[in-house]
Amino acid sequence: MAKQSHTPSSSCCCNPFSCCCSCIFNCICTCILQILCTILFIIAIFTLIFWFIFRPNMVKFHTTNATLAQFNLATNNNTLYYNLALNLTIRNPNKIIGIYYDDFEVRALYKNQRFSTINIQPFYQGHKNTTFLENIVLKGQNVFVLDEDGISEYNKDKNSLWYDVDVKLYLRLRFKVGFVKSSKFKPRINCDLKVPLSVGGNRTSSLYDTNFESKKCGLDWNF
Ligand SMILES: *[C@@H]1O[C@H](CO)[C@@H](O)[C@H](O)[C@H]1NC(C)=O
Ligand SMILES: *[C@@H]1O[C@H](CO)[C@@H](O)[C@H](O)[C@H]1NC(C)=O
Ligand SMILES: *[C@@H]1O[C@H](CO)[C@@H](O)[C@H](O)[C@H]1NC(C)=O
Ligand SMILES: *[C@@H]1O[C@H](CO)[C@@H](O)[C@H](O)[C@H]1NC(C)=O
Ligand SMILES: *[C@@H]1O[C@H](CO)[C@@H](O)[C@H](O)[C@H]1NC(C)=O
Protein backbone atom coordinates (compact mmCIF):
# COMPACT_ATOMS: atom_id res chain seq x y z
CA MET A 1 0.00 0.00 0.00
CA ALA A 2 1.27 3.44 -0.88
CA LYS A 3 1.37 5.95 1.87
CA GLN A 4 -0.74 9.03 1.44
CA SER A 5 2.17 11.37 1.77
CA HIS A 6 0.53 14.42 0.26
CA THR A 7 -2.43 14.80 2.59
CA PRO A 8 -2.23 18.33 3.95
CA SER A 9 -2.13 18.40 7.73
CA SER A 10 -4.23 21.53 7.99
CA SER A 11 -7.06 22.29 5.63
CA CYS A 12 -5.74 25.62 4.46
CA CYS A 13 -5.34 26.94 0.93
CA CYS A 14 -7.80 24.50 -0.64
CA ASN A 15 -10.77 26.75 -0.95
CA PRO A 16 -11.31 30.21 0.47
CA PHE A 17 -14.35 29.20 2.47
CA SER A 18 -12.56 26.46 4.41
CA CYS A 19 -9.61 28.76 4.96
CA CYS A 20 -11.77 31.42 6.52
CA CYS A 21 -13.51 28.90 8.71
CA SER A 22 -10.29 27.50 10.05
CA CYS A 23 -9.04 31.02 10.65
CA ILE A 24 -12.05 31.94 12.76
CA PHE A 25 -11.84 28.63 14.53
CA ASN A 26 -8.17 29.20 15.35
CA CYS A 27 -8.95 32.67 16.52
CA ILE A 28 -11.71 31.46 18.89
CA CYS A 29 -9.41 28.72 20.10
CA THR A 30 -6.65 31.17 20.92
CA CYS A 31 -9.12 33.45 22.60
CA ILE A 32 -10.47 30.71 24.87
CA LEU A 33 -6.95 29.58 25.67
CA GLN A 34 -5.97 33.09 26.64
CA ILE A 35 -9.00 33.48 28.90
CA LEU A 36 -8.30 30.12 30.51
CA CYS A 37 -4.67 31.07 31.02
CA THR A 38 -5.66 34.35 32.61
CA ILE A 39 -8.14 32.65 34.96
CA LEU A 40 -5.56 30.05 35.94
CA PHE A 41 -3.02 32.78 36.52
CA ILE A 42 -5.38 34.72 38.79
CA ILE A 43 -6.25 31.57 40.74
CA ALA A 44 -2.56 30.78 41.10
CA ILE A 45 -1.83 34.27 42.43
CA PHE A 46 -4.64 34.08 44.97
CA THR A 47 -3.58 30.62 46.06
CA LEU A 48 -0.06 31.88 46.48
CA ILE A 49 -1.21 34.80 48.65
CA PHE A 50 -3.42 32.47 50.63
CA TRP A 51 -0.62 29.98 51.15
CA PHE A 52 1.78 32.75 52.04
CA ILE A 53 -0.51 33.98 54.79
CA PHE A 54 -1.58 30.62 56.15
CA ARG A 55 1.64 28.68 55.86
CA PRO A 56 2.50 27.15 59.19
CA ASN A 57 4.49 30.02 60.60
CA MET A 58 1.98 32.68 59.66
CA VAL A 59 -1.50 33.21 61.13
CA LYS A 60 -1.76 30.96 64.15
CA PHE A 61 -4.84 29.77 65.97
CA HIS A 62 -4.65 28.38 69.47
CA THR A 63 -7.21 27.12 71.92
CA THR A 64 -5.65 28.35 75.13
CA ASN A 65 -8.31 26.94 77.42
CA ALA A 66 -11.44 24.87 77.12
CA THR A 67 -13.76 23.52 79.80
CA LEU A 68 -17.05 21.75 79.92
CA ALA A 69 -19.36 22.69 82.77
CA GLN A 70 -21.81 20.11 81.43
CA PHE A 71 -21.77 17.38 78.83
CA ASN A 72 -24.62 15.01 79.41
CA LEU A 73 -26.16 12.74 76.85
CA ALA A 74 -29.59 11.45 77.84
CA THR A 75 -29.73 8.27 75.72
CA ASN A 76 -33.40 7.62 76.48
CA ASN A 77 -34.50 10.69 74.53
CA ASN A 78 -31.31 11.44 72.56
CA THR A 79 -30.77 14.85 74.08
CA LEU A 80 -27.37 16.35 74.69
CA TYR A 81 -26.98 18.94 77.43
CA TYR A 82 -23.78 20.90 76.98
CA ASN A 83 -21.94 23.91 78.29
CA LEU A 84 -18.60 24.49 76.62
CA ALA A 85 -16.38 27.50 77.30
CA LEU A 86 -13.42 28.33 75.07
CA ASN A 87 -10.58 30.79 74.97
CA LEU A 88 -8.93 31.29 71.61
CA THR A 89 -6.03 33.36 70.43
CA ILE A 90 -5.23 34.37 66.88
CA ARG A 91 -1.79 35.66 66.07
CA ASN A 92 -1.18 37.61 62.89
CA PRO A 93 2.60 37.98 62.65
CA ASN A 94 2.59 39.66 59.25
CA LYS A 95 4.29 43.01 59.09
CA ILE A 96 2.09 44.48 56.37
CA ILE A 97 -1.05 42.39 56.06
CA GLY A 98 -4.16 43.12 58.14
CA ILE A 99 -7.10 40.75 58.24
CA TYR A 100 -10.84 41.41 58.19
CA TYR A 101 -12.75 38.57 59.82
CA ASP A 102 -16.12 39.17 58.12
CA ASP A 103 -17.64 35.90 59.24
CA PHE A 104 -16.47 33.98 62.25
CA GLU A 105 -18.48 30.90 63.04
CA VAL A 106 -17.51 28.55 65.85
CA ARG A 107 -18.86 25.03 65.55
CA ALA A 108 -18.57 22.38 68.21
CA LEU A 109 -18.65 18.72 67.21
CA TYR A 110 -18.68 15.45 69.04
CA LYS A 111 -18.04 12.21 67.14
CA ASN A 112 -18.13 14.25 63.92
CA GLN A 113 -21.62 15.54 64.66
CA ARG A 114 -22.21 19.17 65.23
CA PHE A 115 -24.03 19.96 68.43
CA SER A 116 -23.66 23.73 68.61
CA THR A 117 -22.75 26.83 66.61
CA ILE A 118 -22.04 30.40 67.60
CA ASN A 119 -21.13 33.49 65.61
CA ILE A 120 -18.50 35.95 66.73
CA GLN A 121 -18.87 39.63 65.87
CA PRO A 122 -16.85 40.59 62.78
CA PHE A 123 -13.56 42.28 63.60
CA TYR A 124 -10.39 43.59 62.07
CA GLN A 125 -6.98 42.36 63.09
CA GLY A 126 -4.05 44.62 62.44
CA HIS A 127 -0.61 43.47 61.41
CA LYS A 128 1.67 42.08 64.11
CA ASN A 129 -1.24 41.65 66.45
CA THR A 130 -2.78 39.00 68.62
CA THR A 131 -6.52 38.78 69.15
CA PHE A 132 -7.85 37.15 72.30
CA LEU A 133 -11.31 35.67 72.02
CA GLU A 134 -12.25 34.94 75.58
CA ASN A 135 -15.18 33.14 77.09
CA ILE A 136 -16.81 31.88 73.95
CA VAL A 137 -19.67 29.93 75.50
CA LEU A 138 -21.69 27.29 73.70
CA LYS A 139 -24.47 26.26 75.99
CA GLY A 140 -27.79 24.54 75.57
CA GLN A 141 -29.39 21.29 74.56
CA ASN A 142 -29.77 19.56 71.25
CA VAL A 143 -31.10 16.39 69.72
CA PHE A 144 -28.09 14.13 69.45
CA VAL A 145 -28.10 10.55 68.24
CA LEU A 146 -25.11 8.24 68.63
CA ASP A 147 -24.85 4.66 67.43
CA GLU A 148 -23.75 1.87 69.77
CA ASP A 149 -20.02 2.46 69.22
CA GLY A 150 -20.54 6.17 69.74
CA ILE A 151 -22.34 5.57 73.01
CA SER A 152 -19.60 3.28 74.30
CA GLU A 153 -17.00 5.95 73.42
CA TYR A 154 -19.14 8.53 75.12
CA ASN A 155 -19.24 6.37 78.24
CA LYS A 156 -15.44 6.06 78.16
CA ASP A 157 -15.13 9.84 77.92
CA LYS A 158 -17.65 10.18 80.71
CA ASN A 159 -15.60 7.95 83.00
CA SER A 160 -12.36 9.79 82.27
CA LEU A 161 -14.10 13.17 82.55
CA TRP A 162 -12.30 14.23 79.36
CA TYR A 163 -14.31 14.56 76.17
CA ASP A 164 -13.13 14.43 72.56
CA VAL A 165 -14.70 17.63 71.32
CA ASP A 166 -13.73 19.17 68.00
CA VAL A 167 -14.00 22.86 67.42
CA LYS A 168 -14.11 24.13 63.86
CA LEU A 169 -13.88 27.74 62.83
CA TYR A 170 -15.65 28.62 59.60
CA LEU A 171 -14.20 31.92 58.51
CA ARG A 172 -14.73 34.37 55.74
CA LEU A 173 -11.97 36.89 55.57
CA ARG A 174 -10.25 39.51 53.48
CA PHE A 175 -6.68 40.70 53.60
CA LYS A 176 -5.63 44.31 53.60
CA VAL A 177 -2.32 45.63 52.41
CA GLY A 178 -2.17 49.41 52.57
CA PHE A 179 -5.40 50.56 50.93
CA VAL A 180 -5.83 47.39 48.91
CA LYS A 181 -8.28 44.77 50.07
CA SER A 182 -8.31 41.26 48.70
CA SER A 183 -11.37 39.29 47.73
CA LYS A 184 -12.87 36.82 50.17
CA PHE A 185 -11.26 33.66 51.41
CA LYS A 186 -13.10 30.96 53.28
CA PRO A 187 -10.66 28.92 55.29
CA ARG A 188 -11.73 26.38 57.85
CA ILE A 189 -9.71 25.95 61.01
CA ASN A 190 -9.80 22.72 62.91
CA CYS A 191 -9.05 22.20 66.61
CA ASP A 192 -9.09 18.61 67.84
CA LEU A 193 -9.52 18.98 71.57
CA LYS A 194 -9.78 16.92 74.67
CA VAL A 195 -11.86 18.95 77.04
CA PRO A 196 -12.12 18.33 80.78
CA LEU A 197 -15.38 18.42 82.66
CA SER A 198 -14.88 21.18 85.21
CA VAL A 199 -17.63 20.31 87.67
CA GLY A 200 -19.48 17.23 88.77
CA GLY A 201 -18.54 13.73 87.71
CA ASN A 202 -16.86 11.08 89.82
CA ARG A 203 -13.70 12.73 91.08
CA THR A 204 -12.36 9.83 93.11
CA SER A 205 -10.16 8.77 90.23
CA SER A 206 -6.56 9.76 90.81
CA LEU A 207 -6.13 10.19 87.04
CA TYR A 208 -8.39 13.17 87.13
CA ASP A 209 -6.79 16.43 86.15
CA THR A 210 -8.45 19.52 84.70
CA ASN A 211 -5.42 21.24 83.30
CA PHE A 212 -6.18 21.87 79.69
CA GLU A 213 -3.02 22.44 77.71
CA SER A 214 -3.01 25.10 75.03
CA LYS A 215 -3.56 23.44 71.69
CA LYS A 216 -2.61 24.62 68.24
CA CYS A 217 -5.34 24.50 65.62
CA GLY A 218 -4.68 23.63 62.01
CA LEU A 219 -5.91 24.72 58.63
CA ASP A 220 -8.50 22.30 57.37
CA TRP A 221 -8.11 21.83 53.60
CA ASN A 222 -11.42 19.99 53.12
CA PHE A 223 -13.24 22.91 51.61
C1 LIG B 1 -9.07 27.09 82.23
O2 LIG B 1 -10.32 27.54 82.68
C3 LIG B 1 -10.70 26.96 83.92
C4 LIG B 1 -12.11 27.43 84.21
O5 LIG B 1 -12.27 28.78 83.93
C6 LIG B 1 -9.70 27.33 85.01
O7 LIG B 1 -10.05 26.71 86.21
C8 LIG B 1 -8.32 26.86 84.57
O9 LIG B 1 -7.35 27.29 85.51
C10 LIG B 1 -7.98 27.41 83.22
N11 LIG B 1 -6.72 26.85 82.77
C12 LIG B 1 -5.76 27.59 82.27
C13 LIG B 1 -4.54 26.85 81.82
O14 LIG B 1 -5.87 28.79 82.18
C1 LIG C 1 -10.78 32.75 79.42
O2 LIG C 1 -9.97 33.82 79.81
C3 LIG C 1 -10.55 34.67 80.79
C4 LIG C 1 -9.61 35.82 81.01
O5 LIG C 1 -8.27 35.42 81.03
C6 LIG C 1 -10.81 33.88 82.05
O7 LIG C 1 -11.42 34.71 83.00
C8 LIG C 1 -11.71 32.70 81.72
O9 LIG C 1 -11.85 31.88 82.86
C10 LIG C 1 -11.14 31.87 80.61
N11 LIG C 1 -12.12 30.87 80.22
C12 LIG C 1 -11.80 29.61 80.08
C13 LIG C 1 -12.83 28.66 79.68
O14 LIG C 1 -10.64 29.27 80.28
C1 LIG D 1 -34.57 13.52 78.54
O2 LIG D 1 -34.46 12.61 79.59
C3 LIG D 1 -33.88 13.12 80.79
C4 LIG D 1 -33.78 12.04 81.81
O5 LIG D 1 -33.10 10.94 81.33
C6 LIG D 1 -34.70 14.27 81.31
O7 LIG D 1 -34.06 14.85 82.45
C8 LIG D 1 -34.85 15.33 80.24
O9 LIG D 1 -35.72 16.35 80.68
C10 LIG D 1 -35.39 14.73 78.95
N11 LIG D 1 -35.34 15.75 77.95
C12 LIG D 1 -36.30 15.98 77.08
C13 LIG D 1 -36.09 17.06 76.09
O14 LIG D 1 -37.33 15.34 77.10
C1 LIG E 1 -3.55 45.40 68.18
O2 LIG E 1 -4.91 45.77 67.99
C3 LIG E 1 -5.46 46.50 69.06
C4 LIG E 1 -6.93 46.68 68.79
O5 LIG E 1 -7.19 46.93 67.43
C6 LIG E 1 -4.71 47.81 69.22
O7 LIG E 1 -5.23 48.53 70.32
C8 LIG E 1 -3.23 47.51 69.44
O9 LIG E 1 -2.51 48.70 69.49
C10 LIG E 1 -2.69 46.62 68.33
N11 LIG E 1 -1.33 46.23 68.66
C12 LIG E 1 -0.34 46.33 67.80
C13 LIG E 1 0.98 45.86 68.26
O14 LIG E 1 -0.50 46.77 66.67
C1 LIG F 1 -16.28 6.56 91.50
O2 LIG F 1 -15.12 5.87 91.05
C3 LIG F 1 -14.64 4.92 91.99
C4 LIG F 1 -13.33 4.35 91.46
O5 LIG F 1 -13.24 4.43 90.08
C6 LIG F 1 -15.71 3.85 92.19
O7 LIG F 1 -15.25 2.89 93.17
C8 LIG F 1 -16.98 4.50 92.72
O9 LIG F 1 -18.01 3.55 92.82
C10 LIG F 1 -17.42 5.61 91.76
N11 LIG F 1 -18.54 6.32 92.34
C12 LIG F 1 -19.64 6.62 91.65
C13 LIG F 1 -20.69 7.39 92.37
O14 LIG F 1 -19.77 6.30 90.47
Residue 23, SS3?
helix
Q: pLDDT tier at 202 (50, 70, 90 boundaries)?
A: low
pLDDT at position 179 is 87
Separation of alpha carbons 27 and 194, rounded Å: 60
Q: pLDDT tier at 203 (50, 70, 90 boundaries)?
A: low
Q: Which residues pair with 103 in a beta bridge?
A: 172
- Cβ atoms < 10 Å from Cβ of 153: 16
The response to whether residue 135 sits with its C-beta less than 6 Å from ligand 2 reads yes
Average pLDDT over residues 26-38: 87
Residue 187, SS3?
coil
Separation of alpha carbons 32 and 178, rounded Å: 34
For ligand 3, atom 4, the nearest C-alpha belongs to 74
Residue 13, pLDDT above cutoff 50:
no
pLDDT at position 15 is 57
Residue to mutate, 70, 73, 77, 145, ligand 3, most ligand atoms under 8 Å from C-beta: 77
Residues 48-92: tens digit of each pLDDT: 877 777 665 578 999 999 999 999 999 999 999 999 999 999 999
Residue 17, pLDDT above cutoff 50:
yes
Q: How far is CA 61 from CA 87, 89, 128, 190, in A?
A: 11, 6, 14, 9
